[in-house]
Amino acid sequence: MKRAWWQEAVIYQVYLRSFKDSNGDGIGDFGGLIEKLDYLKNLGVDAIWVSPHYESPMDDNGYDISDFYQVSKDYGSIEDVKALINEAHQRDMKILFDLVLNHTSDEHPWFEAAKDKNHPDHEKYHDYYIWHKPKYDEHGHKMMPTNWRSWFGGPVWEYNESTDEYYLHIFSKKMPDLNWRSEAMKDDLKAMTLWWINQGVDGFRVDASNHLEKDWDFPDGHPGYEYFSSLPKHHEYLEEMSKEVFKPNNVMTIGEAGGATKEEALRYCGFDSDEFDMLIHFGHTWADTDNQNFLTPGKWAKGNLRLREIKESFARWYEMLGNKGWNIIYWHNHDQPRILSHYGDDGQYRKESAKMLAYTLYFMPGTPIVYQGEEIGMTNVDYQELNDFRDVEVYTEYDNFISFGASHEVAMQALRDRARDNARSPFQWSSEEYAGFSDVKPWMNVVGNYKEINLEDQLQSEDSVYQTYKHVLENRKEDDIAFGEITFIDLESEDFYIYLNKTRFATYYVVANFTGETKNLTLSESLEGYHLLHQNYPDTEVIKEMILRPYEAFVLRKK
């Protein structure tokens, strides 16, 4: 099979709002991204996925779109978009936009018409969304149609006076879900997608792509995800988009879906898939939850790391797709905490564990996505006040924690550990005020450690996390690492992350102590022919019987 460009690419995710502010309003923007293209090129990036840039009231930082055809004034103009695409292409880099097809903002003109009985376009747009008449209890009190719980914590239904109906929103109440059973609605989304393709974008990351279909019988269920996520019919919608819009125009697509079965995995992103080229999945992203914590439950409950679960998720995906499809590898995105604080150690072993995380992920086959700031070892936020947080989800969940009996302190700690905002604080470019992100106070506070953790310093030091990322990403290009064959060694181990990646040109042997403790390890492979390519302690001596220090890791290579 001929190789596709995206199989050889390193993708970098830019959370635009927090990447670089170019015009002094405290908000990252296209100007800032354009300024930093050379930086990204130099890091080894081939394609940039940009978080949603469309007009939006910013309830969910742009995933709530009020006009698909306008660029948010926070980020610039359509001229800036064209300049970005052009400048990126000149550097032989691709641009991927975030495509949000599951919902709009409640301030989108479609919804404004849909919700208002007296609006001249009411008839046309009502059907673009999902409505249900109220239920009534025995006392005649209005009740929600179901007891489903939204992904952001509250109910999924919001009452609408004008039509005496509830509308469905599986995210925030300012994000009504679109009705994919409406042909007219689908036609509008297809036209919109085509319009962006015509602006020159190279591909899309398709947001929330497994949520498009709902169970229209509306059975009760709490949280009820099985009634509004991953229903069989969403595959048909994706196929339709792909066949009519993505494939004919030769754009690359990355879907987003949790919990896929083997059959679904190939359907989403097998080489003959009619849906996507690749898929973002989540099996490895919350391998440290504590299901005995009822005060801050679910993903918010921080427990012990189950390393085996991380490796098993990756292994399962390699197995499911085999040579019939292509994998994405990534540690985290804008929806999970910072990987260094999450699976590494952002204190005493900050550098060692950041490098360990780079070795363990980026010598694996597939297409990597690096999340902004990961390459300098950025950490979770240090916010002390609830209103330091910006994410809409934080506010519904904080109230839940308090109602479950958590103290303010316990709730705040859960936010600092687990909230999505942890990954969304401004990029730490330098030790200047506001970390060189902006000249003014940013929309969201910079983490207090920017004087110790910033790019400017790390560019100057050979030993920095940044330099490790740069070298590792270079290595990926040398030996066809993306196309290698991976074998995990001692997959069951909760302490070690070890694998071989055999490529056409070399074999990589990656060994990591994933814990903060000293561990004994007998290497299972013969060391003959290998040389040491990377190490996160200066004096590592690779021998059969090893005593690995906290987070000690290394990469061996054999030609």
Q: List, by residue number, the catalytic residues.
A: 207, 256
Residue 29 interacting entry, from Ca ion, ligand GLC, none, C-beta within 5 to 8 Å by type: Ca ion
Q: Are 136 and 143 in contact (CB under 8 A)?
A: yes
Q: Which of 33, 50, 208, 321 touches ligand GLC (CB under 6 A)?
A: 208
Q: According to the binding rule CB under 6 A, does residue 63 interact with ligand GLC?
A: yes
Q: According to the binding rule CB under 6 A, does residue 58 interact with ligand GLC?
A: no
Using DSSP, state whether 375 is helix, strand or coil.
helix
Q: Are 219 and 227 in contact (CB under 8 A)?
A: yes
Tell me how many residues contact ligand GLC (CB under 6 A): 8
Site map 67..106 versus ligand GLC, x via CB under 6 A: ---------------------------------x------
Read off the tokens for 256: 């987003």
Instruction: Sort 422 into a burial class: Cβ within 10 Å, 0-12 / 13-18 / 19+.
Output: buried
Using the minimum distance from each CB to ligand GLC, give the nearer residue, 60 or 74.
60
Using the minimum distance from each CB to ligand GLC, give the nearer residue, 210 or 242.
210
Helix axes 233-241, 183-198, angle to 10 degrees: 40
Using the minimum distance from each CB to ligand GLC, give the nearer residue, 13 or 513.
13
Q: Which of 35, 112, 244, 335 touches ligand GLC (CB under 6 A)?
A: 335
Smallest distance, ligand GLC to C-beta of residue 394, A: 12
Smallest distance, ligand GLC to C-beta of residue 171, A: 5
Smallest distance, ligand GLC to C-beta of residue 387, A: 20
Q: Which of 55, 60, 277, 375 touches ligand GLC (CB under 6 A)?
A: 60
Residue 213 interacting entry, from ligand GLC, Ca ion, none, C-beta within 5 to 8 Å by type: none
> Can you say whether the dihedral through the CA atoms of 43, 47, 48, 49 is positive or negative?
negative
Residue 25 interacting entry, from ligand GLC, Ca ion, none, C-beta within 5 to 8 Å by type: Ca ion
Q: Considering only CA atoms, which of 330, 287, 289 is closest in space to residue 312?
A: 287
Buried residues in 9-32 as b, exposed as e (16+ CB within 10 A): bbbbbbbbbbbbbbeeebbbbbbb
Read off the tokens for 435: 């970390």
Distance set, CA 306 to CA 86, 277, 425 (Å): 44, 30, 27
Alpha helices in 167-257 (DSSP H): 183-198, 225-228, 233-241
Residue 21 interacting entry, from Ca ion, ligand GLC, none, C-beta within 5 to 8 Å by type: Ca ion
Q: According to the binding rule CB under 5 A, does residue 277 interact with Ca ion?
A: no
Helix axes 262-269, 233-241, angle to 10 degrees: 20
Q: According to the binding rule CB under 6 A, does residue 309 interact with ligand GLC?
A: no
In the range 8-27, which residues lie near Ca ion by CB under 5 A? 21, 23, 25, 27
Using the minimum distance from each CB to ligand GLC, give the nearer residue, 29 or 207.
207
Using the minimum distance from each CB to Ca ion, give the nearer residue, 23 or 304.
23
Q: According to the binding rule CB under 6 A, does residue 171 interact with ligand GLC?
A: yes
Which uninterrupted H or E stretch holds 414? helix 408-418
Using the minimum distance from each CB to Ca ion, give the nearer residue, 21 or 552.
21
**Residues contacting 3, CB < 8 A, separation 6+:** none
Q: Is the peptide bond before 223 cis (omega within 30 degrees of 0)?
A: yes
In 196-266, beta strands by DSSP E: 203-207, 252-256
Q: According to the binding rule CB under 6 A, does residue 207 interact with ligand GLC?
A: yes
Site map 23..62 versus Ca ion, x via CB under 5 A: x-x-x-x---------------------------------
Q: According to the binding rule CB under 6 A, does residue 54 interact with ligand GLC?
A: no
Smallest distance, Ca ion to C-beta of residue 445, A: 16
Positions touching Ca ion (CB under 5 A) are 21, 23, 25, 27, 29
Positions touching ligand GLC (CB under 6 A) are 60, 63, 100, 171, 207-208, 334-335
